[in-house]
Structures are given as C-alpha cells and as structure tokens.
Amino acid sequence: MIEVQNLTKDYGHIRAVDNISFDVKKGEILGFLGPNGAGKTTTMRIITCFMPPTSGTVKVAGFDVLDESIEVRRRIGYLPENPPLYPEMTVEGYLDFVARIKNVPSRQRRELVHRAMEMCRVEDHRHMLIRKLSRGYRQRVGLAQALVHNPEVIILDEPTVGLDPKQIIEVRRLIKSLAGEHTIILSTHILPEVSMTCDRVVIINEGRLVAEDTPENLTIQLKGGEMVHLEVKAEAEALQQILCGIDHVRHIEIKPLDSADRLSVTVESERGHDLRSLLAATIVQNGYELYELRPVSLSLEDIFLKLTTEEETSPVASDQPQQEEARR
C-alpha cells in the first residue's frame, strides 16, 4: 500500500532522512519508532505530500507522491503533531470543512462527519467551539479530521502525546480497530505503545533505518541477550560441538561463507554475559583460525535504551510540546 524506496531528505546541509526503504501492506499498522528528531515527522510529511523528497521514491496505493500528488492526498488522512484546528469553528463545522476539502461528495458528507465524530467520541461536543475544548478533546477532533473522508491510508504523528492515561488507552483501542480496513502508520517515541498497537515496527535513528520487524521479534532479540558475530576457519559440526560446551551460550547459528572455507558464526549468549574473550580463547585453543569477532546490534540496543528511558519519564516529556507551543 505504501512503498518507500531509498528516501532521502536534506534540509540545507543537514540530512534529516538518509536512504530509508520500507513497505506497508494493506490493512497493517506500522509503528514508526525513534527518539525525538530521528526523522519521523519528515518522513511522514513526505508520504503525505507536504514536502517533496530530495531523492528516492514514495508510492501510496500505486501513486507517486511527486507526480500524482493529488491522487495520493485524496487517499490519505493525516494527523500532524499539532492537530491542525481552527479554534473559532465548531467541531461539526470544522469536520464539515475538512470533508469538503478532502473531496467528499455532498451526499455522503453528513453521514461521514457523524461517523467520524462517533468513532472519536466527540459527538457530545459537536456544537462547541474548538477553542473551548480541552487538549484531550482537541486531539480527538484532530483524529476525527484524519478519518473523516474514510481514507485508505491514515498517518498519525504521535497521536497520544498530551493525553492522560485513560485517553491514551482509548486512542490506542480506536487505532487498533481501524486496522484491516485502513492502512496505518503511527509514529511514537514510546516503546510500549508500539508493542501494544502495531503489527510491525520500523525503528529509525538519526535519519537511518535501524531495524524493521514485528514487535515480538524485536522484543525477543532484545531480551535474548547479547550476540557476537564470528568469522572462523573450521569445520561446521566440530565447531558447533565445541561452542555448545561453553557456559551461558543460548543459540548458535553457523553459515558457510563463499570465500575460502570460512564460516560465519552468530553466537547468542544470556544477558549480562560477555563471552567474547572466552570464545576467542576456545577457538584458538582448538586450533582454528579466528578472522573476525564483533558484537552485533549494539546500536539497536542503544536506541532501545534511549526509548525505554524516555518512556519512564514520559509524563514529564509529554508536557514539552505544549511548552514549546506557548513559547512561540
């Protein structure tokens, strides 16, 4: 449904997004995970046709964001980080306006506006001015705005920021219920949010794609402990037996390399046990040649660490956008 290929975006000399590629299948919820300033918003803005990419292609439902931008925009509902609201309008008036500019035919407009209000539970406040709504309600009106024309693709930039825990649960439930019929990309810097709502996760950091997998696999990888990659000249079966004998080894994967008769070996150890020196010693003692030894996916862990620590302080962190707004 969404194909992103080699996407790069420069702001002057700063590279905000660096050669990212990923796909989103129809009906899937993709979590877009990364610390603040990782390039999530930029990527979303390119997918929604707000800004053009520096290089690379993005296709939504088969339409290119540069060449067939209007077709793409017709199929996308987008909730930016700050909900784009007109404070002087009523909730219903605002949604009616959004339905108009999203080319909803006049016959369906009333019905779709009602549906969106019902789904986001803002019906009781439909005649209220947006100016008078609390932050949680504004966020919900923003969400209703993204849904009102029943788009195939929904893109949500940090949809739960600034909500209280009860509202967060409601919004997550709503997003989950939209899957299947709609294809959703959801960005967040909160790790548990992704595992609760998303089918698949793309992690980006400093503009680069770091990992792409299901939340389950990522968690297994993370909890699984430390991985070490080795390049050894040896016989596979013999090596397997020797390495299995080492304490705290959980899993061994051996693949032959094309060049010479070397093997590519990945050893997974229990968490908290650094086996690198032991592995090297064992291999050399057994008379094999060791060509390479390096830890794997440390960068991923770093990012997870960043994410998890941020989650712990999230009640404080979520206040920040509001303060920024006030300063402006």
Partner 1 sequence: MKNIWAIYRKEVGLYFVSPIAYAVIGIFLILAGFFFSRILDFFIQQSFMLMMRASQFGMPPQEFDVPGQVMQSFFGVVSTMILFFIPMLTMGSYAEEKKRGTMELLMTSPLTDSQIVWGKFLATLTLFIIMLAPTLLYIVALYRYSDPRPPLAVAASGYLGVLLLGATLIAVGHFISSLTESQVVAAFLTFGAFLILWVIDAGSRGSQVLEYLSILRQFENFPKGIIDTKSLVFYASFIVLGVFLTLRSVDSLRWRSA
Interatomic CA distance for residues 190 and 211, integer angstroms: 16
Tell the smallest beta-carbon distance from residue 317 to partner 1 (Å).
Answer: 20
Give Cα separations from 23 to 34, 186, 235, 293 (angstroms): 17, 14, 39, 33
Given the complex with partner 1, which of 87 and 295 has the nearer CB atom? 87
Residue 49 sits in the site that holds partner 1 (CB under 8 A): yes
Interatomic CA distance for residues 144 and 159, integer angstroms: 12
Amino acid identity for residue 213 in this structure:
D
Residue 145 sits in the site that holds partner 1 (CB under 8 A): yes
Binding-site member from 5, 8, 23, 89 for partner 1 (CB under 8 A)? 89
Please work out the total of residues on this chain that contact partner 1, with binding judged by CB under 8 A: 33
Tell the smallest beta-carbon distance from residue 85 to partner 1 (Å).
Answer: 7
User: Across the beta sheet with 249-256, what order do the strands follow?
Assistant: 249-256, 262-269, 227-233, 289-296
Tell the smallest beta-carbon distance from residue 234 to partner 1 (Å).
Answer: 53
Residue 51 sits in the site that holds partner 1 (CB under 8 A): yes
Q: Contacts with partner 1 in 6-45 (CB under 8 A)?
A: 11-12, 16, 45
Amino acid identity for residue 75 in this structure:
R
Residue 12 is given by DSSP the state T
Binding-site member from 19, 23, 35, 97 for partner 1 (CB under 8 A)? 97
Q: Which stretch binds partner 1 (CB under 8 A): 18-26, 66-74, 205-213, 257-265?
A: 66-74
Residue 272 sits in the site that holds partner 1 (CB under 8 A): no
Residue 307 sits in the site that holds partner 1 (CB under 8 A): no
Residue 63 sits in the site that holds partner 1 (CB under 8 A): no
User: Across the beta sheet with 2-11, what order do the strands follow?
Assistant: 14-24, 2-11, 55-60, 63-64
Identify the residue whose tokens are 């893109």: 155
CA 194-304-314 angle, 5° bins: 65
Pairing of strands 153-157, 29-33: unpaired
Residue 130 sits in the site that holds partner 1 (CB under 8 A): no
Tell the smallest beta-carbon distance from residue 138 to partner 1 (Å).
Answer: 12
Could you count the other beta carbons within 10 Å of the beta carbon of residue 14? Answer: 8
Pairing of strands 153-157, 208-213: unpaired
Interatomic CA distance for residues 120 and 136, integer angstroms: 11
Pairing of strands 153-157, 14-24: unpaired
Tell the smallest beta-carbon distance from residue 325 to partner 1 (Å).
Answer: 10
Binding-site member from 85, 148, 191, 307 for partner 1 (CB under 8 A)? 85
Residue 238 sits in the site that holds partner 1 (CB under 8 A): no
Q: Which stretch binds partner 1 (CB under 8 A): 76-84, 169-177, 179-187, 296-304?
A: 76-84
Q: Which stretch binds partner 1 (CB under 8 A): 49-57, 243-251, 252-260, 287-295?
A: 49-57
Given the complex with partner 1, which of 49 and 283 has the nearer CB atom? 49
Please give the span between the terminal C-alpha atoms of the chain, in angstroms, as a whole number.
Answer: 37
Tell the smallest beta-carbon distance from residue 101 to partner 1 (Å).
Answer: 4
3-state secondary structure of 80: coil
Given the complex with partner 1, which of 207 and 215 has the nearer CB atom? 207
Residue 291 sits in the site that holds partner 1 (CB under 8 A): no
- CA 158 to chain CA centroid, Å, is 10
Name the site residues for partner 1 (rule: CB under 8 A). 11-12, 16, 45, 48-52, 70-71, 73-74, 76, 78, 80, 82-89, 93, 97-98, 100-103, 145, 328
